[in-house]
């Protein structure tokens, strides 16, 4: 059978994969066939999981958005399967359908490949995590933490922080710094919101919590000015803070041990792991030495120009933030539009600087809002705290679900403008 249209195969259907599918359809209209492969048939709205935990809701109920009908609205085909391997020379991907156990694997061919599979959150690499650790990265662990807080926590010391991020170097541009942790907005958010929860439940407050970071500065991608303000606010509330712990060595019944030799006696450890590339990407010629996909600023692999990456799977995405993946999905779509003659090169190739945009819950109907480009060489470092960012965090999720993942073009700029200009 001869193919009438070029085929775009998108691996992964969460923020980056869904965003890429929708934007490609917007720009390319019906000039390509688009297929998304994911092992699960829903989008997991990860950024609001911590908020759901401290407001006592199960994120599996509130944070999953149906993916198959969402994609069908844009005539995008969905295939539920485990992605097994990529054959770059023959332009095929091996997948194994996973709705029922026991399926053989199949090959899907592509003209353009978009790798948007995120990364493994390597909790099992942290010694003692299963027995002595908690996290907030998915619904299973969220519910485990909710149960622990409600039934077992006795009011003792708590450590919140990240393991070391192992970032690759091959193909990395000079301007992109080395990050000690993959994504440190969430540990700051969890510390603040948890302190409020402890107060509300008569189990203590900020003084129970030590925030730690493997690096010199927690959330360093937000910029020194912003982090300075955040830390000042946190220390005046009573939080403890330790830096340069290098890595989490192990979790034990007594507490947490760090790679620099420091130890803390704790009752509860809430930790964020290394973001580790999926095994099937490791060792491929498109990947750096750890397994993230190397791209130029047009999110295109230099050696295999028909291969694109966006979101956490891309080596360029540091910190690992959904907001950056969203920006990259737009770039991928423009490049594919250029390829098929649907966009002028001047528009498709417009220069781009990534932006950190992060809204974190603080409990009590308040949130912090960070907008920064200093990590990438820019000069923006904005921090706001209060009720407005909290309302925006909820409104953004509402808008995302109601619009089936399509955040209107004015959504992000409006959120930035209102957070930076309106005081509530």
Ligand X SMILES: Cc1cc2nc3c(=O)[nH]c(=O)nc-3n(C[C@H](O)[C@H](O)[C@H](O)COP(=O)(O)OP(=O)(O)OC[C@H]3O[C@@H](n4cnc5c(N)ncnc54)[C@H](O)[C@@H]3O)c2cc1C
Question: Contact with ligand X (CB under 6 A): which of 28, 50, 191, 304?
Answer: 50
Q: In angstroms, rounded to a whole number, what is the distance separating the alpha carbons of residues 279 and 116?
A: 14
Which span sits near ligand X by CB under 6 A: 11-19, 153-161, 227-235, 258-266? 11-19
Q: Which is nearer to ligand X, 113 or 343 (CB)?
A: 113
Judged by CB under 6 A, the chain residues 209 through 238 that form the site for ligand X are none
The values of phi and psi at residue 86, to 5°, are -120, 130
Residues in contact with 57: Cβ distance below 8 Å, sequence separation at least 6, in sequence order:
none
- Least Å distance, CB 265 to ligand X, is 25
Q: Locate 170 and state its tokens.
A: 């091959």
Residue/partner pairs of 351-355 with CB below 8 Å, 24 or more apart: 351/297, 352/297, 352/327, 353/377, 353/378, 354/316, 354/317, 354/324, 354/327, 354/328, 355/323, 355/324, 355/327, 355/380
Question: Contact with ligand X (CB under 6 A): which of 139, 188, 270, 321?
Answer: 321
- Write down the residue that tokens 């109601």 correspond to: 402
User: Binding to ligand X by residue 17, rule CB under 6 A?
Assistant: yes
Question: Contact with ligand X (CB under 6 A): which of 9, 83, 180, 309?
Answer: 83
Task: State whether residue 8 is helix, strand or coil.
Answer: strand
User: Binding to ligand X by residue 146, rule CB under 6 A?
Assistant: no
Q: Locate 299 and state its tokens.
A: 């999110």
- Least Å distance, CB 374 to ligand X, is 17
Question: Contact with ligand X (CB under 6 A): which of 194, 358, 372, 388?
Answer: 358
User: Binding to ligand X by residue 288, rule CB under 6 A?
Assistant: no
Question: Contact with ligand X (CB under 6 A): which of 12, 133, 157, 277?
Answer: 12
Q: In angstroms, rounded to a whole number, what is the distance separating the alpha carbons of residues 22 and 142?
A: 29
Judged by CB under 6 A, the chain residues 376 through 415 that form the site for ligand X are none
Sign of CA dihedral 271, 284, 176, 310: negative
- Write down the residue that tokens 């991928």 correspond to: 332
Question: Contact with ligand X (CB under 6 A): which of 33, 74, 82, 289?
Answer: 82
Which span sits near ligand X by CB under 6 A: 41-49, 218-226, 284-292, 383-391? 41-49
For residues 303 and 288, the answer to whether their CB atoms sit within 8 Å is no
Question: Contact with ligand X (CB under 6 A): which of 183, 248, 268, 333?
Answer: 183
- Residues making contact with ligand X (CB under 6 A): 12-17, 38-40, 46-47, 49-50, 82-83, 116-118, 136-137, 183, 185-186, 278, 311-313, 320-323, 325, 358-359
């Amino acid at each position: 059978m001869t193919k009438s249209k070029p085929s775009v195969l998108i691996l992964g259907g969460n923020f980056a994969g869904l965003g890429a599918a929708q934007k490609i359809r917007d720009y390319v209209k019906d000039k390509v066939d688009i297929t998304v492969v994911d092992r699960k048939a829903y989008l997991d709205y990860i950024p609001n999981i911590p908020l759901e935990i401290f407001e006592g809701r199960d994120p599996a109920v509130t944070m999953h958005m149906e993916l198959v009908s969402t994609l069908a609205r844009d005539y995008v085909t969905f295939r539920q399967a485990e992605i097994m391997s990529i054959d770059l020379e023959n332009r095929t991907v091996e997948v194994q359908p996973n709705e029922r156990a026991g399926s053989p694997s199949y090959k899907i061919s592509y003209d353009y490949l978009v790798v948007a599979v995120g990364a493994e959150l390597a909790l099992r690499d942290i010694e003692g995590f299963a027995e002595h650790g908690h996290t907030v990265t998915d619904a299973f662990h969220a519910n485990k933490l909710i149960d622990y807080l409600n039934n077992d926590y006795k009011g003792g010391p708590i450590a919140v922080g990240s393991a070391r991020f192992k970032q690759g170097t091959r193909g990395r541009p000079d301007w992109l710094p080395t990050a000690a942790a993959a994504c440190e907005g969430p540990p700051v958010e969890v510390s603040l919101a948890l302190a409020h929860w402890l107060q509300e439940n008569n189990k203590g407050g900020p003084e129970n919590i030590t925030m730690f970071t493997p690096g010199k500065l927690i959330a360093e991608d937000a910029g020194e000015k912003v982090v300075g303000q955040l830390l000042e606010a946190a220390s005046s509330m009573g939080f403890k803070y330790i830096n340069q712990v290098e890595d989490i060595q192990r979790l034990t019944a007594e507490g947490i041990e760090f790679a620099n030799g420091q130890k803390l006696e704790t009752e509860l450890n809430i930790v964020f792991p290394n973001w580790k590339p999926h095994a099937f990407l490791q060792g491929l010629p498109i990947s750096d030495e750890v397994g993230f996909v190397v791209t130029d600023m047009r999110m295109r692999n230099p050696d295999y120009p028909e291969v694109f990456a966006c979101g956490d799977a891309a080596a360029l995405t540091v910190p690992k933030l959904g907001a950056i993946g969203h920006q990259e999905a737009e770039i991928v779509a423009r490049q594919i539009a250029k390829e098929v003659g649907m966009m002028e090169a001047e528009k498709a190739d417009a220069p781009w600087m990534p932006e950190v945009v992060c809204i974190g819950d603080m409990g009590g109907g308040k949130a912090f809002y960070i907008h920064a480009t200093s990590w990438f060489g820019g000069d923006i470092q904005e921090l706001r705290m209060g009720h407005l960012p909290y309302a925006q965090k909820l409104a953004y999720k509402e808008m995302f679900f109601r619009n089936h993942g399509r955040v209107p073009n004015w959504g992000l700029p409006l959120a930035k403008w209102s957070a930076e200009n309106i005081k509530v």
